[in-house]
Amino acid sequence: MRNGNQQKGRHGPFGQRGKMMEQQSCKTGSVLQEEMLWEKGRKGKTGFSLPQRDVKSYPLDDSHTRAELDFPDLSEVEVVRHYTRLSQWNFGLDTGMYPLGSCTMKYNPKINEKLAALSGFTEAHPLLPVDHCQGALKLMYDLERYLAEITGMDAVSLQPAAGAHGELTGMLMFHAYHQKKGRRKKIIIPDTAHGTNPASASFCGYTSVSVKSGKKGILLPEAVAEIMDEDTAGIMVTNPNTLGFFEEHIREISDIVHSKGGLVYGDGANMNAIMGIADMAGSGIDILHLNLHKTFSTPHGGGGPGAGPVCVSKELAPFLPVPRVRKDGDGYVLDHDNPDSVGKVHSFFGNFGVLVKAYCYILSMGRELKKVSRISVLNANYIRTKLKDVLHIPYDRPCMHECIFTDKKQKAQKVTTLDIAKRLIDYGFHPPTVYFPLVVSGAIMIEPTETESKAEIDRFIDAVKAIAKEAEEDPSLLTGSPMSTRIGRLDEVTAARKPCLTG
Amino acid sequence: MRYIPHTEEEITSMMEAVGVDSLDELFSDIPESCHRKNELALPEALTEWELDDHIRQLAGSMPASSEYKSFIGAGSYSHFIPAVIPYLLGRSEFSTAYTPYQPEISQGTLHAIYEYQTLVSRLLGMEIANASMYDGATALAEALLMAIRITKKDDVAISMAVHPDYRRVIEAYFRPTGYTIHYLPYGKDGRTMYDTIPEKTEPACVAVQSPNFFGCMEEVAGIAGILNEQKTLLIVSFTEPLAYGLYKTPGELGADIACGEGQSLGIPRSYGGPGLGLFSSKEKYMRYMPGRIVGQTTDRRSNRGFVLTLSTREQHIRREKATSNICSNQSLCALTACMYMATAGQTGMRELARLNYDKSEYLKEELGNAGFRIPFSSPSFNEFVVEFPEGFEDLHRHLLKKKIFAGLPLEPYYPELKNHYLMCATETNKKEDMDRLVREVK
Amino acid sequence: MKEINELILEDGFLYSTQHEWVNSEAESVRIGITDYAQDQLGEIVFVELPEVGATFAKEDEFGTVESVKAVSELYMPIDGEVTAVNTALEDAPELVNQQPYKDGWIIDVRPSDPSQLKTLLSKDAYLDLLKGTEK
């Protein structure tokens, strides 16, 4: 594509660089600097409306009391300004697209926020007698049933507070199951697995045995058969996997593992691709966790809270954490009496406030959840089709809800995946997942989700194309990016060499 | 459906671009054995208005506080939450943001979590804190595992006065490990007795909770020194961090790790979750710490900025050798806690702590004067144990019907404490309600 | 990252398949990581050193080297007892990047079986190994 303005020079507003700058959409409005709380505080201010004192002061020996608490004192106004300004430094899902592979950054419905904040839920003490908590218990019971229906599994626990916590619970259940039959020491984990998989397995004392994926980017039954033995507790599989493909041989692999007395754990992080389409139980999965903050639209909160319920087969239901929510006539009870249970993994029942939002989402979508998956897969394939000639594509075949590229084509310009990612920020996008999975060097993993419109996806595709062009014509635009943000690339080396963790 | 922005025309045009005639074709790689046989059997999708009705009905059946008078704590506390906090948390740049792996566009979260780490360290008197764990129970479980990593020993000692549900979580976490848990009993004063650790056992750590499950402040000063000599770490946990607005901190008492539940810091009870696992330690244990940590640094233009750091401890890099498997934590809850601490400030935290102490001392005194036995004489914060006469459970049930939650019965957790109830009074309990409670139970 | 022909290899040193060098010329056998290893890791932020006096067998893990985004375990090329560790690395881990064969040394070892040194690679053999890795 020829640019008629090339002769006019690179730096003026009408020059080539100027034209590229115009395409960028990361601008700064009225975004202010802001200090640390303790740099703003002045003794004697207050932001809290202290309650009336209607009792006298009781003595307490000085030997028990603490040294002065070194907290800043701030007025309410200053607290509000502080956090408002800080929020403006963040890119959020309501700001723009997050094409993060395996994160399913879909729109967070606002009605769910409103309903989770109802005082009947927020004020509820978890240890109240069950006959006073029927609303909450019904919600949990119904949510369990809906998740069982969606996954095809038989029983659910909502207790784990995050996906990794669900994985840990699954591993505890593996251990409890095998403890009855004879301890096993190993777990098979694909080379494409998320880091939480081997970490969770290791938590329970298992040694991870890696299995390589085949040329098509999926597991091969022969590879699993080769290493599956009676000292292996089972396998942890992500399906669809982190390369964006459905593990086509999952049924055969499950049969191989089961034939040697092992169990199959499913990491359901990528459930968004297959709701209403795939049957996880039919694939041979024994325990599956879901990420409510991914597939089920609950907000990420800058890193949590999420929720990672586990869905299991009938055979494994006795091992689920307690208490279980059970129906008792017309009402609901909490059943603590499960002798085979792995016990408790959370102080109470899990992240109830998050569960409410997922429940609302499922009730709002109903059978449309199938359309959610169909559109998420369409969106990803559309991006794949449009970008496969722009970025190197390691697996040139149809994908599920995410597609994977690398920086191989840009290597000649000494431009890396990281540079491409950072330059996308200048174009108004959060970068995709980068350098994961580890089996693909320089991986760029893109998952648009179904809540991104065609227009937004087209804008994303155009941005990537523009960046690829910049990589050829002026790589410094990439290596110097992001250029339009308040803060540029940060020195992570010094942060790790000389950690400064508190002010 | 308003969350799926595609028109039918757009879907058709995208299918053309991809080269498929139907959306079904996109799933042709899924073998028959893995296909669902039936459509999703879920209720008909609700409109926003129907959903609102339905959820309000569920929430409406729960006891909301203005009518109900609650005198229970036990790990979940009633505290005033200033209106600024839910207001500021409603800023979607905080709530809808992803984990701050791209620091240039996440400085809001990172700056705020650095402030959180700082204030948590100062509240607990410790040197460093992480960006949060799931809750107080899992924080304690991880603290024990951290002590085992540091000391390379296989035993831990935990007080029986630690919250019973926390101990159950620890037991669940420890079951596959082969590590041994020794339980330390509590004495007549409601505090832990340390001299019962089996001879020749020098555990990786001794873990107490202070204020403990009975509300008593543990006697910790002095044991840190002894434990140090045998290379045993001291872990002080808690379910009520507000106590440290008043009482000597774990840091001042020599704790190596201080961890616990942060729900009291501006987070609603919400039927038990989401909570907040506060986690702090001495600086020398930095690299053994689980969870995410935010550190200060500069950018290329020498501006101050913050990043997630020391990531090589974590699962996404260290994988099976990680300090923990934790990925998502409780970031928004940590932000909530920091906003609460910023709003309260030095003055507010001290006053609120004092008020909690005084309210519960008042209730304790009134119940004592009404003839009920207060078995544990140790200093307490906002919870204490009272012994009611035989048959009190009928009155307890009757009071529930009158919308008064008169404490938590301890017998299910401690069979030796029949007729003992755990009472809680915070700044939210009015004198007139406490007076009414005392009248009702007399 | 460097090309093979840009990598530095010291004469007179022996090499292991785990990209460590061994200098047996000195009284104590000195061990560090090669230029290839430090280049692959990127800027090093932390080195986990063993205790002086600790004994390890060949192929035991004796420490780690960390960059911001990666960790590399260090494996003993021979059996031996650690007689010294490079404490300068505590404050300046970047020495491993800057001078991998000199000031960036990691441990000194008293070998329990000096004949094991014969199992290590010569400079040329190590270079061949690197060329094989490239492919």
Out of A9-13, A392-396, B195-199, C112-116, which region has the weakest mean confidence (pLDDT)? A9-13
Query: Mean pLDDT throughout A199-224?
Result: 93
The pLDDT of A343-366, averaged and rounded, is 98
The enclosing domain of C58 has a CATH number of 2.40.50.100
Residue percentage of chain A with pLDDT more than 70: 95
pLDDT number for residue B199? 67
Asked if residue B103 has a cis previous peptide bond (ω within 30° of 0), the answer is no
Residues of chain A with CATH 3.40.640.10: 114-367
For a pLDDT cut of 70, what percent of chain B falls above it?
99
Q: Flag whether residue C70 sits within 8 Å of chain A, measured between CB atoms.
A: no
Average predicted confidence (pLDDT) for chain C: 91
Q: ipTM greater than 0.95, yes or no?
A: yes
> Residue A316: what pLDDT?
97
Residue of C nearest to A491 (CA): C68
Residues of chain A in Cβ contact (below 8 Å) with chain C: 435, 492-493, 496-497
Q: Return the pLDDT at A4.
A: 40
* Mean pLDDT across A410-427: 94
State the residue for tokens 């459970």. Answer: B393
- Tell me the chain A residues in contact with residue B292 when contact means C-beta distances shorter than 8 Å: 303
Q: φ, ψ for residue A295 (rounded to 5)?
A: -60, -35
Contact C68 B318 (CB under 8 A): no
Q: What is the pLDDT of residue C25?
A: 78
Determine the Cα–Cα distance for residues B211 and B376; give it in Å rounded to an integer: 13
Delimiting residues of CATH 3.90.1150.10 domain(s) in chain A: 369-494
Please report which confidence band the pLDDT of residue A13 belongs to, taking 50, 70 and 90 as the band edges: very low
Beta bridge partners of A446: A100, A403
- Is pLDDT above 80 for B124? yes
Looking at CA atoms only, how far is residue A436 from chain C in angstroms? 12
Phi, psi (5° rounding) for residue A65? -85, 155
Count structural domains, chain C. 1
Read off the pLDDT of each residue in B29-54 and give the average, rounded to a whole number. Answer: 96
pLDDT digits (tens, 9 = 90+) for A28-45: 778 899 999 999 999 989
Reply yes or no on whether the pLDDT at B16 is more than 70: yes
Which of C33, C54, C18, C25 is closest to C114 using CA atoms?
A: C25
* Residue in B149, B309, B317, B323 to test binding to C, most C beta-carbons within 10 Å: B317
Q: Does C90 touch chain B (CB under 8 A)?
A: no
**What distance in Å separates the CA atoms of residue C65 and residue A410, rounded to the nearest whole number?**
29
pLDDT in tens, C39-63: 989 999 999 999 999 999 999 999 9
Cβ proximity of B208 and B191 under 8 Å: no
Task: Answer yes or no: do A164 and B325 touch at CB < 8 A.
Answer: yes
Query: Which of chain B's residues have a Cβ under 8 Å away from the Cβ of C42?
Result: none
pLDDT per residue over A272-307, tens digit each?
999 999 999 999 999 999 999 999 999 999 999 999
Q: Which CATH number fits domain A114-367: 2.40.128.260, 3.40.640.10, 3.40.50.1010, 3.40.190.170?
A: 3.40.640.10
Taking the CA of residue C69 and the nearest CA in chain A, the distance in Å comes to 10
Half-sphere CA count of B408, side-chain side, radius 13 A: 24
Say whether residue C32 is in contact with chain A using an 8 A CB cutoff: no
For residue B188, give both structure tokens. Answer: 């007549």
pLDDT tens for each residue of B401-433: 999 999 999 999 999 999 999 999 999 999 999
The distance from CA B330 to its chain's CA centroid, rounded to whole angstroms, is 10
- pLDDT (mean) for A179-194: 92
Distance separating alpha carbons of residues A258 and B148, to the nearest angstrom: 35
- Helices B8-18 and A369-387 pack at an angle, to 10 degrees, of 50
- The neighbours of chain C, by the rule of 3 or more Cβ pairs under 8 Å, are A, B
Residue B377 is predicted with a pLDDT of: 92
- Among the partner residues B65, B97, B342, nearest to A90 by beta-carbon distance: B97
pLDDT higher than 60, residue A470: yes
Instruction: Give which of C43, C89, C97 to mutate to test A binding, by max A Cβ within 10 Å.
Output: C43
In terms of CATH, what superfamily is A369-494?
A: Aspartate Aminotransferase, domain 1 (3.90.1150.10)
Assess whether pLDDT exceeds 50 at residue A1.
no
Delineate the domains of chain B, giving CATH numbers in brackets: 69-81+345-441 (3.90.1150.10), 84-340 (3.40.640.10)
Q: Which residues share a beta bridge with A102?
A: none
Whole-number Å distance between alpha carbons of A355 and A309: 9
Average pLDDT over chain A, rounded to an integer: 93
Q: Is the pLDDT reported for residue B330 higher than 70?
A: yes
Give the domain extent around C18.
4-134
If we measure between CA atoms, which residue out of A292, A298, A294 comes closest to residue A147? A292
Report yes or no: C54 at the B interface, CB cutoff 8 Å.
Answer: no
pLDDT for the residue numbered A11: 43
User: Which of A322, A276, A295, A266 is closest to A149 using CA atoms?
Assistant: A276
Q: Closest by alpha carbon to A123, among B80, B359, B52, B85?
A: B80
pLDDT band at A9 (very low <50, low <70, confident <90, very high): very low
Q: Letter for the amino acid at C104?
A: G
The whole-chain average pLDDT of chain B stands at 94
Contact between B295 and A495 using a beta-carbon 8 Å cutoff: yes
Q: Is the pLDDT of residue C15 over 90?
A: yes
